[in-house]
Chains A and B, each alone.
Chain A
Amino acid sequence: MLDPIFIKVLIGTLLLAASSSVVGAFSFLKGESLVGDAIAHALLPGVVLAFILGDGRNPLFLIFGALAAGLIAHYGISFLEQRTKLKGDTAISLVLSTFFGFGIMLLSAVQRTGLSQQAGLERFLLGKAAAITLSDLYVFVALALVLLVSVAVFFKGFQLMTFNEDFAAAIGLPVQAIRFVFTILTVLAVTVGIQSVGIVLMAALLITPAAAARSWTSSLRLMLVLSAVFAATAALIGTVVSASLPKMPTGPWIVLALGGIAFISLLFAPEKGWIARRKRAKGNQLKTQRENLLKLLYGAEEREGETVAMTSDMIVAMRRQHLDGLRKTLRALKKEYLLVERPDGFALTDKGRSEGRRVVRLHRLWELYLTERLGMAADHIHPQAETMEHIITPEIEALIVKELGNPEVDPHQSPIPYEED
């Protein structure tokens, strides 16, 4: 397994996968990743025609065939989207399936001659890295390096084109030209990528590393680097498995490995992963529940004019909340000395009262702000304030108080409770 040719093929395959995933990351961010899928399928007739018309063993010929077919497919999709009433998804799947069908028809014609085995045309369908000859590999590796260098050179342009095309045009960037360069690079990336994963699964190489990388970082540069690393890791796994199991194609293993990497990233990445987001959402929910409970007790004290104790049953009746969740919240508040438990129920401590007062104050300040500054009717503002009272920070609170000139009462004539000091 460790013979020098295998090592060369391995390194080459890693580079192919990495370089096409970097270009794929841009189309992923532009929301055009399935166009790449269509281009990959559309390359088949180009490659087979190049094989029929030209010298089948010259990789440059195949690359030109692929480039021509890919460009035709790309512009075909744009034409259908812009000039007919067909929607984007239909245009993509239409071009994808008819080009591929045409390719299969041509391939079946070539297969009868028996020449295709020699040229390894089948290798394009599902990828078989070990079947690549060394001279082919050098050409494709050179192409992969061209891709990486081009992305580095055009980085600023691609970045602007991806995130804000109008702005790019407004500051005088040649958007049309950048788009054209990007299209060429996409087609080349697909040509390079199908050497390792094959046509059918090419979409995975464009999309999956980018989707995985996106959940780790918000920086474009870092995301490109991570995409390349993920793709190369998956290519390593795929090539080794394919070399150890004789009949196994490379592409499916690379794609399965990518799927695994994406699954782990989407679930476990800090901040943007599913678990982290759930934790945050849960935290916000808990915070809201606690603040609402303190607000409820503070409101009761305000009405009665004295310290009020409430049993959990009383609170459940008022708040339509599950008893289990409420008990948990009460325990947490007690632990932080915001509430005390008395024989007749739970009551606010001084610290709890101050916290409840803060929530009520923010609620009323926001209601006042909505009526005074945004001109909203007094009977429409309560739900808004219910949300904002949990979000407004002390800095924003200070700004609102200043803006409204230290107001005394809210739109319903309830007093705005400031801290008594």
Chain B
Amino acid sequence: MTPTLAIALTAVFTAVSCALLGAFLVLRKMTMVGDAISHAVLPGIAVAYWLSQSRASLWMFLGAAAVGVFATVVIEVLRKKLKVQSDASIGMTFTTLFALGVILITFWSDSVDLDQECVLYGEIAYVPFNTWSAGGFSMGPIALWSSGLLLLAVLGYIFVGYKGLKMSSFNEDYAAVLGISVAAWNLSLMAMVSFATVVSFESVGAILVVALLVVPAATAYLLVEKLHHLLMGAAFIALVAALGGYACSRWMDTSIAGTIATLLGVQFLMVLLYQQLILKRNHHAVA
């Protein structure tokens, strides 16, 4: 497998997984919680790295998912028990956890192969060089495998939980009447977002995960009305941005993750412009 193909596939798998999960975050008005989780998993990653001395280990996923769910719980406790308003509890939680993560990484910088730059922008360009082998066969880049598994897991999660996710996203009360546990779907979604964040972290960095979670879903949200259209639209937009962003970054020799996020922004602007112009014209036609 050529390095180019490995990077492109990793970018596509990561982007599509995040976009699908992000659609539910947008519907639930919880994108900032996704933002918070993407920052908050850092101390989990740092501790798991330090303990296991390896990337892409099972420990890392479990550690990070645990911290992600922990962050969600802390936000709730701050809001309900300590009476801090919800935006402030999100902001306080993720900044403190992220700060702790950066401090841990800097402390362990000799033994933990993870630096501040990687945390901020990711290192998707190095994906092809980090390979693993099983029984003497080279199995290819680790990140390609983990992002591929992530995509399968996300597709499986949405397939199995479609009804519960749909109901609890649109009408909490109605979902509760049908016996669907809103809290359980919330926590499982947050756990999936944490998984996605950990997998994407190395490739695209903490903050650009947010772009992948939010922007494709928000762009599709402007255009469609139905949930399955939203999911398909977000996945398609993410796919285009991942491939196009990678191509542009090679052409301009810029950060891959940054270019993908920029392209996501450009796509959104184009859709917004189109939608505003159409809206205006329709408005005039009616008048």
Contact = CB atoms under 8 A, between A and B. Distances in A.
Interface of A: 28, 31-34, 37, 41, 80, 83-90, 92-94, 96-109, 112, 125-126, 200-201, 203-204, 206-208, 210-211, 245, 247-249, 251-256, 258-259, 262, 266-267, 272, 274, 277
20 contacts: A28-B88, A84-B272, A86-B222, A90-B26, A97-B215, A98-B261, A98-B264, A99-B265, A100-B207, A104-B255, A105-B255, A108-B254, A200-B207, A204-B92, A207-B88, A208-B91, A252-B99, A254-B99, A259-B99, A272-B83
A240 to B, nearest CB: 14
A248 B255 CA distance: 25
A247 B81 CA distance: 38
Chain A CB within 10 A, most for which of B92, B257, B272, B276:
B92
Closest 10 CB pairs of A and B: A101-B261, A98-B265, A104-B258, A105-B258, A108-B255, A259-B96, A204-B95, A97-B211, A252-B99, A255-B99
Interface in B175-214: 205-208, 210-211, 213-214
A34 B275 contact: no
Given A33-B87, A100-B208, A107-B258, A253 B103 contact: yes
Interface of B: 26, 29-32, 34-35, 39, 78, 81-85, 87-88, 90-92, 94-96, 98-100, 102-103, 106, 109, 116, 120-121, 205-208, 210-211, 213-215, 217-218, 221-222, 249, 252-255, 257-262, 264-265, 268, 272, 275-276
Given A32-B87, A126-B102, A259-B99, A84 B222 contact: yes
Given A104-B208, A204-B91, A256 B260 contact: no
A78 B180 CA distance: 35
Contact of B96 (A28, A256, A277): A256
A102 B268 contact: no
A105 B120 CA distance: 12
Given A103-B258, A207-B87, A256-B103, 11 more contacts: A84-B222, A90-B26, A90-B217, A93-B35, A97-B261, A104-B258, A203-B91, A204-B96, A207-B95, A247-B106, A252-B106
B103 A98 contact: no
A253 B210 CA distance: 24
Given A107-B255, A253-B103, A100 B92 contact: no
B215 A94 contact: yes
Contacts of A84: 222, 272, 275
Given A34-B90, A256-B103, A266-B84, A102 B95 contact: no
A76 B214 CA distance: 16
Contact of A249 (B91, B106, B254): B106
Given A102-B261, A200-B120, A206 B221 contact: no
Nearest to B97: A259
Given A89-B31, A100-B207, A104-B208, A126 B116 contact: yes
Contact of A34 (B82, B87, B207, B257): B87
A101 B32 contact: no
A interface secondary structure, majority: helix
Contacts of B211: 97-98, 100-101
A84 B258 CA distance: 26
Contacts of A105: 249, 254-255, 258-259, 261-262
A211 B208 CA distance: 28
Contacts of B217: 90
DSSP class of B's interface residues: helix, strand, loop or mixed?
A: helix
Nearest to A86: B218
A84 B276 CA distance: 8
Contacts of A99: 265
A218 B166 CA distance: 42
B112 to A, nearest CB: 13
A125 B265 contact: no
Contacts of B255: 104-105, 107-108
Contact of A207 (B31, B91, B103, B259): B91
A253 B100 CA distance: 8
B106 A104 contact: no
A84 to B, nearest CB: 6
Given A126-B102, A252-B103, A96 B35 contact: yes
A101 B100 contact: no
B116 A249 contact: yes
B240 to A, nearest CB: 15
A37 B258 CA distance: 19
A200 B101 CA distance: 13
Contact of B95 (A108, A255, A274): A255
Contacts of A206: 91
A87 B29 contact: yes
A214 to B, nearest CB: 8
Q: Which of B252, B260, B265 has the most CB of A within 10 A?
A: B265
A107 B259 CA distance: 11
